[in-house]
Amino acid sequence: MTLYRLLLVLLLAAVVGAGAVYGLRGDTGYVLIQRGDLAIETTVVNAVFLLLAALALLYVAVWLLRWPLRLWQAGARRGARRRFLDGMIALVAGRPGRAGQQLLKATRLPSLKLPALIAAHAAAHARGDRTEEVRLLDLLTQAAETHDLATELRARNELLDGRAGAAIEMMVPLAQASRLSPMGARWLVEALAARKRAREALAYLPRIRQSQQLPPDELARFVSRILVTAIEQTSDAINLHALWADLNRDEKRLAEVAIAYARRAVQLNLIAQAAQEIEATLKHGWSAALVLAYGALPPDAKVAPRLKHAEAWLEAHASDPALLLTLGRLSRQEHHWIKAEDYLRRAVAYGAGADAWEELGRCYAEQGDTERTAKALANALAVQHGEAPASLMARHSAEDLLAPLPVAEERDDMGIPRLPGARR
């Protein structure tokens, strides 16, 4: 760029010189400068060149006089940039105290003032210095470029201090003016959820997704948590249905969300709807937590027994401990004692743990078998404490519940025997 400008200046000088030669055409003109007894006579051409030479000398003199100042300013800029870099490195390296010191020194350079203030505020927040945070936020508020950011940071501090209402009051005007940042939207969602207004927060979830401010797994957990909170905060069946209708298909298929809906539906005596949603969700993806929630639903005389429906899942998940435990619970609810004992024995064998033993205790208790009830519950406690369960003879067969399961012969569609668990 400097060479380009120099070429332009030389070209302009050549054009001016050519124009001057053409305008004079041999007549150099006459200039007389007289003051008192002093008189200076020369041509116009010489006068112009002398004037230009005088201006050039004046420029060189000013440049030389300012050179020490420029040298000092250059050193100050280099020092400020070095302190800014050192402060950022210290902040990332986990030394917020040193970071704050270096960054505050870097604010002396005007071009680095706002970035250094933002980073210094991050350092103060990292070390928990709220007094310094407030002071830095006051400085950031004074600049138009960082006014909105300072407002969001104040709202975050209010949220962290348990004043979600104040945080909402600060961020809602920014959201209404479309000036709320994606991170601010996330804090607003947290504040609304804390104030039992999670339903309103759902409108900001698409923007948080689009911003990609969170890794995919963390984003999924965040969205799931807010959806679960919104479901839990519904006041009645009408609001629950309206909220569920507003969710998209992918949101409804989240296991945690479906479980939260089922629990809230049970609380509102909507057991049939809870079972239907869990069944629909399991069609699109298997989840042990959903299966356990299905088994935990209370029986309802208005709803067809769920055992037959759940047994259809055995074909694809015959060794799933969660499914076997659920089948045992459903069998107990319908008083199918032989089935319940068989399913729960298989659940124990496949690692269902203390829950399976506890369910066996309930099963025996409902049959009036106090001895087996006590032994089953004792095994549940033993497993919970990492101890080996004791031997327990089954009530409906002459076998120990801890004995290895018999391996049933499996055949393919052509009737040819195959190894257990082999792909069909």
Residues 343-388 pLDDT 10s:
999 999 999 999 999 999 999 999 999 999 999 999 999 999 999 9
C-beta of residue 124 within 8 angstroms of C-beta of residue 102:
no
412: pLDDT strictly greater than 60: no
**What pLDDT shows up at residue 17?**
67
**273, HSE (Cβ side, Cα atoms, 13 Å):** 17
**What pLDDT shows up at residue 151?**
95
28: pLDDT strictly greater than 60: yes
Phi first, then psi, for residue 231 (nearest 5°) are -65, -45
Q: How confident is the model at residue 329 (pLDDT cuts 50, 70, 90)?
A: very high
Burial tier of 263 (Cβ tally within 10 Å: 0-12, 13-18, 19+)? middle
171: pLDDT strictly greater than 70: yes
**What pLDDT shows up at residue 409?**
43
Task: Identify whether 311 is part of a domain.
Answer: no
Q: How confident is the model at residue 419 (pLDDT cuts 50, 70, 90)?
A: low
Alpha helices in 306-369 (DSSP H): 307-311, 321-333, 337-349, 354-366
Q: Please report, for the domain that includes residue 420, its CATH number.
A: 1.25.40.10
**What pLDDT shows up at residue 97?**
92
Task: Identify whether 45 is part of a domain.
Answer: no
**What pLDDT shows up at residue 63?**
77
Task: Identify whether 3 is part of a domain.
Answer: no
Task: Identify whether 227 is part of a domain.
Answer: no
**What pLDDT shows up at residue 38?**
81
Residues 114-123 pLDDT 10s:
999 999 999 9
Q: What is the pTM of this model?
A: 0.76
Phi first, then psi, for residue 104 (nearest 5°) are -65, -35
194: pLDDT strictly greater than 50: yes
Q: Print the domain residue range for 411.
A: 316-424
Task: Identify whether 247 is part of a domain.
Answer: no
Higher pLDDT, residue 363 or 12 = 363
Average pLDDT, stretch 385-414? Answer: 77
Task: Identify whether 96 is part of a domain.
Answer: no
The structural domain count of the chain equals 1
Phi first, then psi, for residue 402 (nearest 5°) are -95, 0
**What pLDDT shows up at residue 424?**
47
**What pLDDT shows up at residue 64?**
78
Task: Identify whether 40 is part of a domain.
Answer: no
C-beta of residue 81 within 8 angstroms of C-beta of residue 112:
yes
Which secondary-structure segment (H or E) carries 15?
A: helix 2-24
**What pLDDT shows up at residue 49?**
75
**What pLDDT shows up at residue 411?**
46
Task: Identify whether 210 is part of a domain.
Answer: no
Question: Mean pLDDT of all residues in the chain?
Answer: 87
Highest mean pLDDT among 35-44, 76-85, 233-242: 233-242
